[in-house]
Structure 1
Amino acid sequence: MTHPFASFRSALPFWMTLINVPLALIGTIWGGLWVLLLPVYGFVLVTVLDSLAGLNEENADPETAEADLKWYRAITLIWVPVQFVTLFFVIGYVAWHRHLNGWEVLGLMYGIGIMTGAAGIVYAHELLHQRNRLERWLGDILLAMVLYSHFRSEHLLVHHLHVGTPRDAVTARYNESFLRFFPRVLMECPPSAWRAEVAMLRRRGAGPFDRRNPFWRYGALQLGMLICALIVGGWYGLLLFLMQAFFAVWMLELTNYVEHYGLTRKYLGNGRFEHVKPHHSWNAAHTVSNWMLINLQRHSDHHYKPDRRFPLLQTYGADQAPQLPYGYPLMASLAMAPPLWRRMMNPKVRKWRAMYYPEITDWAPYKRGRHEDLAS
C-alpha cells in the first residue's frame, strides 16, 4: 500500500518557495514598489496566513520510508538550479539595464537575500544533514551563493555538538541583543569551523591543508560564484552579489538568534553538559511558515534527532519544549527591536528555567566567560 506521504499533493505546500521566483522577476523588471514583493511575501503575507491557518500539531510517522518522501526531497534538489538561474539573471539584468535607483536596488537585493537566505540556506541546511554526496554537494553550492560555506562545518561539527553551551557561538545568550549577537557570530564562527575541521583531520593523521579539508572546496565554490557575478554583471554585478549575500547571512543569523535564545543545557561538571533534549530549542508549530521553511521551526526535534528529514520532524507541546508565540518571520522582525524582544522573550526564558531547572538559583555562571569550567 502506498504511504499517503508519497503523493505530490501532500508535499505541494512545501513547494511555496517557488513563488519567490516570479516575485523576484517582477521586482527586477518593473522596479518601483514592486521590489518590495519578496519582503512583503516572506514577512507580511506568511505571518498573516499563519494567523489564519493556526497551528499544525500533527506528527508524521518517523519510520516512514525514504522512498515515500520523494516529492518532499524533490523541492530541495530542484531549488538549487532554480536559485542559481534566478539569482544571476537578476544580477545580470539589473547590472546591464541600470534602470533602478539606489533605494530600488537596496530593496530588491534585500528581497533576493531573503530568497537566498530564508529559502536557500534553509534548503542547504536540510541537504548538508544528509549522508549522500549529491545532496551535500548541492548544499555546498547553495551556501557558496551567499559566501557562507563554512556554515556546513560550523553547523555539523560545532553547533550540534555544543548547542546551549558557552562553546556554541550561535546560541544567543540571555539578554543579548541581535545587534551584539550578529557581529560576534561573524567573527567567531569561521575560525571555529576551521578548528573543527583541522581537529578532525588531525585525528585521521592528516595536516590542516590536506586535500580532504572541505575548506578547499568552499573556497573554490565561492570563487566560482564571484566569477559568475563578474561575468554576468561586471563590477556592478559583483556589488549586487555581495549585497544579497550579506542580507542572506543576516536572515540566517536572525533565525539562529531566535532558535535558541536564552536556552542553556545544564552543566554537569568536569567540562560536561547534559545531552541535548527537545527543550533546548524553541518550537513553533505555525502552519504556513513551517511550509515555507520546510519545518525548520520544529527545531526542538531537529536537534533531538538531527538525521530526520524535514517531513518527519515532530512537533512538541508546551510540556515538552518551549513555544514561540509566532512563526519565524514575525519573530525575526521582533528580534530587530531589542526592547520589544526582551519584553516578550525574557519572561518566557525565566519561566523555562523555573520549569526545567528549579534547582539552579544562580544563572550568572552560565553567561559566557563568567565561570572557568563553563568557558573551558
Structure 2
Amino acid sequence: MTATSTSSRIGGLTTALPFALSLGVIPLSVVAAIYGGWLILLLPILAWHLSSIMDFALGQQNDNPDAETPQAQLFWYKAITLVWPPLQMISIFGVLGYVISTGHLNRWEQWGLFAVLGISSGTIGVNYAHELMHQQSKLERWFADALLASVLYAHFRSEHLLVHHRHVGTPADPVTARYGESFYRFFPRVLIQSLISSFNAEKSMLARKGLPWHHASNPFWRYLTLQAGFVLLAALIGGWWGVFLFSVQAFWAVFQLELVNYVEHYGLTRKHLGDGKYENVQPHHSWNATQRASNWLLLNLQRHSDHHYKPNRRFPLLQTYDEETAPQLPYGYPLMIMLALLPSPWRKVMHPRVRTWRKLHYPEIKDWTPYKRARNPVPK
C-alpha cells in the first residue's frame, strides 16, 4: 500500500496561503448583506461553481508532502484553522444584527441570505470544525464544538469520532451511504440515526467508567448549553424572526454537511469477517479526489482515504493515493455534491465505479445484497 510520490514541500506562509481561499466567503457575506438582490448568490457561486471551474483550470495535485514534517513547520496552516471560528460567529450574528436593525432587505431576501450563509457555515465552517475536533488541543476542540453548535449539530463531534471512524463502511455507521440509496432517503435517515448513535456511544463510554448517562462529563450537556446559548443570542438580536433566520442558516449548513458525507463513502463497505467483525479500515474504503482548487477550499478533505487511514494527521500532511489503492471520484466535491442532488445522473456516474471497486478489492464476494441492505452477511 503506497501513496503517490512525496515531492512537494510545505511550511511557511506561501505554501499555506492557498488554503486561506475559504476565508473569502466572509467579505462576500458582508457584501450580500449590504446590497441583497442577486449578490446573495455570490456565496454559492464561489463555493460550488467557481471552485469547480478552478479545478478544471488548475488540474490535479498528485504529489504528497512529507508525512513526518515537524509540527513547528505547520504554524501557518494551524493559524488558518484558528482564525475561522471567530470569523464565522461574527459573520452569522453580525449579519443577523445588521439586517434586523436596518430592515433594508425584505423577508425573502433575508431568508435567502441566511440560506446561503448556511453554505458558508456548512461547506466551510463544519469542515474547519472537522479538522479542529481531531486535534488534541483543548482550544481547538472547543472551537470545533462552538462551530458545530452554531449550526445546531454539536453531536456531530461524538458521532464522527466515536461512531463514524470506528464503524465506517459497516451497518453500524449511519453516515455510510448505501449502494442505491438516494440522498433524499439518506438525509432524513442520518439525521435521526446519527443523533441516536452518538448519544449511545457517549452513554456506553460513561457506563464503562461506572457512570450514568446524565453525568456532568457527558459532552451532550456542553452541546445543549452551547446550542441554547446561540439560539438565545439570535432571539436577543432579532426575536422570533432572528431565531428563524438562525435556524435557516443551521438547516442548510447541516444539509451541506450531509451531502458531503453522502459522497465520501457512497457504496463502499468493509468486508465482513463473521461474528459481527469487519476488516480494518483501509484507504480503499473512502472516495478520494485530487482536484487542486477544491482541496484548497476544503482543507484537503478530499484526501479522505488517508484521513480515515491516519485520522490524526493535520490536513496539510494528508496523502493521496493512486487508483488501485483508493477509489477516485471523477470530479471534486463541489461538483459531486451538486450531482448527488440528481439521483439518476448520480447513479450513472457512480454505480459503474462502485462495481469496478468491488471487482478490484473483493472479487471473492459474489452476493452484495446483504451489504446493500446494511446487514451482516452470513459467512459461507
Instruction: Tell me whether the two structures share a fold, i.e. TM-score over 0.5.
Output: yes
Partner of 1:264: 269
TM-score using structure 1 length: 0.97
SS in 1 for 2:273: strand
Separation in 1, partners of 2:297, 2:120: 11
Contact 2:303 2:318 in 1 (8 A): yes
Pairing partner for 2:249 from 244, 248, 273: 244
Is 1:38 equivalent to 2:43 in the alignment? yes
Within 5 Å, give how 1:173-184 maps onto structure 2: 173-184=178-189
Separation in 2, partners of 1:40, 1:103: 19
Separation in 2, partners of 1:288, 1:117: 18
Number of aligned residue pairs: give it. 372
Separation in 1, partners of 2:316, 2:374: 39
Change (3 A) 1:20 1:45: same
Compute the displacement of 1:4 (Å): 5.3
The CA deviation string for residues 153-190 of structure 1, in whole angstroms up to 9 with x for no partner, is 00000000000011100000001000000000001111
Within 5 Å, give how 1:218-257 maps onto structure 2: 218-257=223-262
Taking every aligned residue pair, what percent have the same amino acid on both sides?
56
Separation in 2, partners of 1:90, 1:74: 24
Separation in 1, partners of 2:203, 2:341: 35
Pairing partner for 1:76 from 76, 81, 84: 81
Contact 2:180 2:372 in 1 (8 A): no
Is 1:105 equivalent to 2:121 in the alignment? no
Compute the displacement of 1:365 (Å): 1.2
The CA deviation string for residues 79-117 of structure 1, in whole angstroms up to 9 with x for no partner, is 011111111011111222233234423331222001101
Within 5 Å, give how 1:102-141 maps onto structure 2: 102-141=107-146
Two-structure CA RMSD over aligned residues (Å): 1.4
The CA deviation string for residues 263-298 of structure 1, in whole angstroms up to 9 with x for no partner, is 000000011000000000000000000000000000
Contact 2:9 2:66 in 1 (8 A): no
Partner of 2:3: none
Is 1:142 equivalent to 2:147 in the alignment? yes
Partner of 1:274: 279
- AA aligned opposite 1:227: L
Separation in 1, partners of 2:195, 2:375: 24
Contact 1:264 1:280 in 2 (8 A): yes
SS in 2 for 1:5: coil
Structure 1 stretches lacking a partner, 5+ long: none
Separation in 2, partners of 1:232, 1:293: 31
Within 5 Å, give how 1:164-179 maps onto structure 2: 164-179=169-184
Is 1:294 equivalent to 2:302 in the alignment? no
The CA deviation string for residues 347-372 of structure 1, in whole angstroms up to 9 with x for no partner, is 11011001110100100011335557
Separation in 2, partners of 1:51, 1:6: 26
TM-score using structure 2 length: 0.96
Pairing partner for 1:88 from 82, 93, 96: 93
Separation in 1, partners of 2:376, 2:332: 34
Compute the displacement of 1:134 (Å): 1.0
Separation in 2, partners of 1:225, 1:325: 39
